[in-house]
C-alpha cells in the first residue's frame, strides 16, 4: 500500500483497528505494544489471514518506534481499559503517563503525522497528546463522537425496526456521562427522530447511549468495548487518508469555537487530508448549550487533574 498507519497498543481495540485497516486495504500497518511478542504475534496471525481475506496490505509488529517512521496516521489505543464499576476518569493517572510517553516517541519518528486518540479518558488524553507532540490542533483528533453516535444510531434502528443505513445521529460533548446526544439533529431517512418517537423513548435511548460503554463493560467484566470503537477510529482514518471532507463528530481542539478555548471536546468537524479542516458550528438551543457547557466543565476538571499530576 502507499499509505502507512501505526497503531499503538495491540490489545483489544488496537488489534481490531489493525485488522479492519488491512482488510479494507486502507494502508500498511505497524502495530506497536510494550509487551514483547504480542504485537509481532498478532501481526503475523493477521498476515496469515490475508490470503483467505484476499488483501495485500502489509502488517508488522514492534516494541520500539523506528518502524513507525513517516506514518500518515497514528492511532493511539495504548493504556488500560475500564473494569466494572470504574468510570473512564478513573484511568487518568495511568493512561496520562502512557499517552505522554507514546506521543513523544511517535512525534520523534513521524513529525508530520495525524494523531487519532482512542485511549480514555478521551478528551483529557487528547490534551496530553497535544502537549506532548507539539502538533497543531488540527493534527490531534479524538475518537468519541463517531462511536457515541453509532451507538445512538444502533439503538434508533432497533427501536424503529429500520436499517441502520437510514439512521443519522449526532452526539457532542465530552466522552463521558455528560455527553450530549442531539435528537433534533438525529434522523431516519432525513426525518428528525423527534417526529418518530415519543419524548420518553428518545430519553431512554439517549440515556442508553450515554451509558453505552458502561453497559458493555458490565457484560464483559474483564475489559471494555472494542468492535464499535475500532470501527469508529477506522472511519475517521479513512476520511483523512482519502481526503473525503467527511463531517463527523470528533473530539477537536477548540480555540474559541462554541465559546471554548484551549479545550478538546466533541463537535462536528470536517475531516480531510489535513486532519480537522473545519469545525462546524451548528445552532444549539439554550438547553443544548447548557448541556455542552456542563460537559465542557467536566473535561476542564480532568484538565485540572492533569495539571496536578504533572506538578
Ligand atoms: N506503550 C505501548 N503499549 C502499551 C503501553 C505503552 N506504554 N502501555 C500499555 N500498552 C498496551 C497494553 O500492553 C495492551 O496491549 O495497550 C494495550 C491495551 O489493550 P487492552 O488492555 O486490550 O485495552 P483496550 O480494550 O484495547 O483499550 C485500550 O482504549 O477504548 C480505550 O478505555 C480504553 O483506554 C483504553 C484503550
> With a 6 A CB cut-off, is 12 part of the ligand 1 pocket?
yes
Kindly list the domain boundaries of the chain, sorted by start residue: 4-142, 145-310
pLDDT tens sequence across 4-57: 999 999 999 999 999 999 999 999 999 999 999 999 999 999 999 999 999 999
Whether 70 and 4 have beta carbons less than 8 Å apart is answered as: yes
Banded pLDDT at 210 (limits 50, 70, 90): very high
Mean of the pLDDT values across residues 112-133? 97
Is 90 exceeded by the pLDDT of residue 85? no
Mean of the pLDDT values across residues 209-220? 95
In order of 48, 86, 95, the CA distances from 151 in angstroms are 32, 20, 24
> With a 6 A CB cut-off, is 224 part of the ligand 1 pocket?
yes
Beta strands in 95-213 (DSSP E): 114-117, 140-142, 167-168, 171-172, 180-181, 187-188, 191-192
Q: Which residues are catalytic?
A: 175
In order of 32, 47, 76, 252, the CA distances from 73 in angstroms are 14, 20, 10, 16
Banded pLDDT at 310 (limits 50, 70, 90): confident
- Asked if the domains at 4-142 and 145-310 fall in one CATH topology, the answer is no
pLDDT score for 101: 97
> With a 6 A CB cut-off, is 119 part of the ligand 1 pocket?
yes
C-alpha neighbours within 13 Å on the C-beta side of residue 243: 3
Is 90 exceeded by the pLDDT of residue 177? no
Does the 4-142 domain belong in CATH 3.40.50.720? yes
Banded pLDDT at 244 (limits 50, 70, 90): very high
Mean pLDDT, the chain, rounded, equals 96
| Distance (Å, whole) CA 181 – CA 195 | 16
| Distance (Å, whole) CA 55 – CA 155 | 32
pLDDT score for 12: 97
pLDDT score for 117: 98
Of the candidates 123, 77, 114, the one whose C-alpha atom is nearest the C-alpha of residue 98 is: 77
Architecture of domain 145-310: Alpha-Beta Complex (3.90)
**Percentage above 70 pLDDT, the chain:** 100
pLDDT tens sequence across 190-206: 999 999 999 999 999 99
What strands lie across the sheet with 73-76, from one edge to the other?
59-62, 28-32, 4-8, 73-76, 114-117, 140-142, 246-255, 261-272, 275-279
Which atom of ligand 1 is closest in space to residue 229's alpha carbon?
30
> With a 6 A CB cut-off, is 34 part of the ligand 1 pocket?
yes
Which atom of ligand 1 is closest in space to residue 225's alpha carbon?
25
pLDDT tens sequence across 270-304: 999 999 999 999 999 999 999 999 999 999 999 99
Which atom of ligand 1 is closest in space to residue 10's alpha carbon?
15
Amino acid at each position: 500500500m502507499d499509505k502507512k498507519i501505526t497503531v499503538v497498543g495491540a490489545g483489544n481495540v488496537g488489534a481490531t483497528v489493525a485488522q479492519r485497516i488491512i482488510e479494507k486495504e486502507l494502508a500498511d500497518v505497524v502495530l506497536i505494544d510494550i509487551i514483547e511478542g504480542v504485537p509481532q504475534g498478532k501481526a503475523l496471525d493477521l498476515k496469515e489471514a490475508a490470503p483467505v481475506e484476499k488483501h495485500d496490505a502489509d502488517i508488522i509488529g514492534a516494541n520500539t518506534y523506528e518502524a513507525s517512521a513517516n506514518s500518515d496516521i497514528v492511532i493511539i489505543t495504548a493504556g488500560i481499559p475500564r473494569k466494572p464499576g470504574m468510570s473512564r476518569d478513573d484511568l487518568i493517572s495511568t493512561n496520562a503517563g502512557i499517552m505522554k510517553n507514546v506521543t513523544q516517541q511517535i512525534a520523534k519518528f513521524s513529525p508530520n503525522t495525524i494523531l487519532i486518540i482512542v485511549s480514555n479518558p478521551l478528551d483529557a488524553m487528547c490534551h496530553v497528546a497535544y502537549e506532548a507532540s507539539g502538533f497543531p490542533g488540527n493534527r490531534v483528533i479524538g475518537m468519541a463522537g463517531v462511536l457515541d453516535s453509532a451507538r445512538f444510531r444502533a439503538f434508533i434502528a432497533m427501536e424503529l425496526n429500520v436499517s441502520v443505513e437510514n439512521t443519522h445521529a449526532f452526539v457532542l460533548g465530552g466522552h463521558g456521562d455528560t455527553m450530549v446526544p442531539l435528537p433534533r439533529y438525529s434522523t431516519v431517512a432525513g426525518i428528525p427522530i423527534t417526529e418518530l418517537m415519543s419524548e420518553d423513548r428518545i430519553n431512554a435511548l439517549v440515556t442508553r447511549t450515554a451509558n453505552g460503554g458502561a453497559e458493555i463493560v458490565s457484560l464483559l467484566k474483564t475489559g471494555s468495548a472494542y468492535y464499535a470503537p475500532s470501527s469508529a477510529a477506522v472511519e475517521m482514518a479513512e476520511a483523512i487518508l482519502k481526503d473525503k471532507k467527511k463531517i463527523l463528530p470528533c473530539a477537536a481542539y477548540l480555540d474559541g469555537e462554541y465559546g471554548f478555548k484551549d479545550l478538546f471536546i466533541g463537535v462536528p468537524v470536517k475531516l480531510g487530508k489535513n486532519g480537522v479542516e473545519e469545525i462546524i458550528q451548528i445552532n444549539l438551543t439554550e438547553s443544548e448549550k447548557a448541556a455542552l457547557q456542563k460537559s465542557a466543565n467536566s473535561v476542564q476538571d480532568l484538565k485540572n487533574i492533569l495539571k496536578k499530576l504533572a506538578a
